[in-house]
């Protein structure tokens, strides 16, 4: 899978060069292009933002550097990648969307300041995605969240020990509690059933715990 990110802070994406994602990129399962929007600014100070027409606070990212950065990003792709703008006004990202996006290449635009000139969005964007009902200072962290969640569905990214199926959200229930050695940690014991070796009882216990936790933390998921 190929993901191109348009950003004014490419160095922020160092953060996802580790762990499972770092390994996936090392193996060539995911190719991440970090495209610095500033390099496409055609003015002599490499400005990427300007005052909003109509007044108001903050600055607006200009159309020209974004549209040209998009053209460059598109030239790196063979097919038609999904073109996404990270924005708090977008559709809220969830596990189903993560799974769906994994079958396509993507170009992700990270916005800043008070927004992006609407003409760049009209020309370049297929959809806007939000990671939740709060406002971040920029789209970079949101893009990293999307990239991380989507990558888990790309074939070969998760090792056999990192299961996709049994986890929170895939089943509609939250994950049951997990324990590892020692069986007694400072007097706090692991639930007896997990030491019993009785697989049917363990499955039953885990399911019941999942239902309990979902009931307590996210009753909306049970509806
Ligand atoms: N940019 C700023 N806030 C955001 C959010 N909640 N989701 C996606 N992109 C954003």
Per residue in 171-220, pLDDT (tens digit) is 889 999 999 999 999 999 999 999 999 999 999 999 999 999 999 999 99
Q: Among 85, 108, 131, 141, which residue has the most ligand 1 atoms within 8 Å of its CB, making it the best to mutate?
A: 131
Average pLDDT of span 140-160: 95
The rounded Å distance from CA 142 to ligand 1 centre is 6
Quote the Cα angle for 28-34-37, to 5°. 160
The rounded Å distance from CA 98 to ligand 1 centre is 16
Contact 16, 148 (CB under 8 A): yes
As a whole-number percent, the residues of the chain with pLDDT over 70 amount to 97
pLDDT for position 59: 97
Query: pLDDT tens, 94-103?
Result: 999 999 999 9
pTM above 0.75, yes or no: yes
Contact 146, 100 (CB under 8 A): no
- Helix, strand, or coil here: 32? strand
Strands 49-50 and 60-61: antiparallel
Kindly tell me if the per-residue pLDDT of 127 is higher than 90.
yes
* Residue 167: pLDDT band with limits 50, 70, 90: low
Contact 86, 110 (CB under 8 A): yes
Strands 184-185 and 127-130: unpaired
For residue 116, what are the contacts with CB-CB under 8 A and spacing of at least 6? 60, 61, 63, 66, 85, 109
For ligand 1, atom 4, name the residue with the nearest CA.
Answer: 88
pLDDT for position 223: 87
Report residue 111 as tokens: 């916005």
Average pLDDT of span 142-169: 85
- Ligand 1 contact, 93 CB (< 6 A): no
For ligand 1, atom 5, name the residue with the nearest CA.
Answer: 88
- Ligand 1 contact, 7 CB (< 6 A): no
The rounded Å distance from CA 131 to ligand 1 centre is 6
pLDDT for position 166: 55
- If you average pLDDT over every residue of the chain, what do you get? 95
- Helix, strand, or coil here: 52? coil
For ligand 1, atom 10, name the residue with the nearest CA.
Answer: 87
Contact 105, 2 (CB under 8 A): yes
- Ligand 1 contact, 86 CB (< 6 A): yes
The rounded Å distance from CA 56 to ligand 1 centre is 20
The distance from CA 188 to its chain's CA centroid, rounded to whole angstroms, is 36
């Amino acid at each position: 899978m190929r993901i191109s990110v348009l950003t004014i802070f490419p160095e922020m994406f160092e953060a996802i060069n580790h762990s499972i994602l770092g390994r996936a990129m090392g193996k060539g399962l995911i190719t991440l292009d970090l495209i610095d929007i500033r390099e496409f600014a055609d003015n002599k100070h490499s400005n990427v933002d300007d005052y909003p027409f109509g007044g108001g606070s903050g600055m607006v990212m200009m159309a020209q550097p974004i549209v040209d950065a998009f053209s460059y990003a598109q030239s790196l792709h063979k097919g038609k990648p999904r073109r996404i703008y990270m924005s708090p006004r977008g559709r809220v990202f969830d596990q189903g969307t993560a799974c769906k996006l994994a079958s396509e290449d993507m170009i992700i635009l990270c916005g800043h300041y008070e927004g992006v000139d609407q003409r760049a969005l009209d020309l370049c964007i297929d959809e806007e995605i939000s990671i939740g009902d709060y406002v971040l200072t920029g789209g970079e962290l949101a893009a990293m969240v999307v990239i991380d969640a989507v990558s888990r569905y790309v074939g070969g990214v998760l090792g056999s020990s990192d299961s996709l199926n049994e986890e929170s959200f895939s089943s509609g229930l939250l994950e049951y509690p997990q324990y590892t050695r020692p069986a007694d940690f400072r007097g706090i014991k692991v639930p007896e059933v997990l030491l019993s070796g009785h697989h049917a009882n363990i499955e039953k216990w885990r399911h019941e715990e999942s239902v309990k936790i979902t009931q307590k933390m996210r009753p909306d998921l049970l509806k």
